[in-house]
Amino acid sequence: MSADEISEDAALAFSPLRPKLMRVAYRMLGSVQDAEDMVQETFIRWVKTDHDKVRDPEAFLCRTVTRLCLDQLKSAKRRRETYIGPWLPEPLVEEEEVEDVTLPLMLALERLSPLERAVFILHDVFGMGFEEVAVIIQRDGAACRQLAARARAHVREARPRFQLEKQHGLALAEAFFAASRSGDMEALGAMLAADVSLHADGGGKRPASVEPVFGFDAVMKLFEYLGTLFQKDDSKLVRTSFINGLPGFVSLDPDGELSTTALGVEHGKIAAIYVMRNPDKLRHLH
């Protein structure tokens, strides 16, 4: 069989599994570009593999991409230690709500060790058995169960606790955009929880709060200031969508750059606002 035929056969076997591998890699890394790189490297290794010796291609590929992501997380941790301002994962903008790993849960995963993160994602999110996960991360089953227990203790509070009807969530996002851009503080205040927080990721590339903003009064004061800027230069709503599983929107800002805003909603009120302004993390939306 020629090299071209081997490559074509490898691509045919790999292609149906690419979406799952991308979901694993993105949830491990929080970066679309890094996830795509890891999936591509997995494919390169797959092409070079003797497929006759692989009994379960899906298990082999999940093992490969997870191990690549574990190596990548070590360098990612060093980069985030010097990151300017709050770090948020790159936004996944989807038409339908995705409930397995929402944005707050991804932020909670950042507090885990790489192995805890891998076990939680593979077992609790993707439903793999502990023995299968043990092979992937090269630990025994008992160690995997301990890692999973520690991970769950860290992320328990970040699990979705309130179900939000899809259309209601998108309507709330649209109303939030309208009120925050028009400077209608009364309408905006009616949407916010008393303990609302705002997290903005500019990555040092665009203006954004270098620390999270906590509390109703502080968030309202910030939007009063932003409202004066928006009234001078329009911010345009591109579309409402789900951003990493939360209702939100994509907007075109006065400086001509895109932003995404995701809203964490509890008891019908906006409890958390996540704004992505870092252009490096928004390239995939253009």
Indicate whether 161 pLDDT > 70.
no
Q: Which residues neighbour 177 within 8 Å (Cβ) at sequence distance 6 or greater?
A: 237, 240, 249, 251, 261
Confidence of residue 243 (pLDDT cuts 50, 70, 90): very high
- The mean pLDDT value for 84-88 works out to 89
Domain ranges of the chain: 3-158, 166-285
Check: CB of residue 134 under 8 Å from CB of residue 141.
Answer: yes
SS3 category, 259: strand
Question: Would you state the CATH architecture of domain 3-158?
Answer: Up-down Bundle (1.20)
Q: What's the mean per-residue pLDDT of the chain? A: 88
Q: How far apart are CA 66 and CA 134, in angstroms?
A: 12
Q: How far apart are CA 56 and CA 44, in angstroms?
A: 17
Confidence of residue 57 (pLDDT cuts 50, 70, 90): confident
- The mean pLDDT value for 64-77 works out to 86
Higher pLDDT, 156 or 201: 201
- The mean pLDDT value for 121-128 works out to 90
Check: CB of residue 122 under 8 Å from CB of residue 128.
Answer: yes
- The mean pLDDT value for 260-269 works out to 93
The pLDDT score that the predictor gives to residue 65 is 95
CATH class held by domain 166-285: alpha beta
SS3 category, 14: helix
The pLDDT score that the predictor gives to residue 120 is 93
Burial of 187 by CB count in 10 Å (0-12 exposed, 13-18 middle, 19+ buried)?
A: middle
The pLDDT score that the predictor gives to residue 4 is 57
- The mean pLDDT value for 227-254 works out to 89
Q: What is the pLDDT of residues 217-227, one digit of tens each?
A: 999 999 998 88
The pLDDT score that the predictor gives to residue 158 is 64
- The mean pLDDT value for 19-29 works out to 93
* DSSP secondary structure code for residue 189 in this structure: H
Sign for the CA dihedral angle at 116, 121, 122, 128 comes to positive
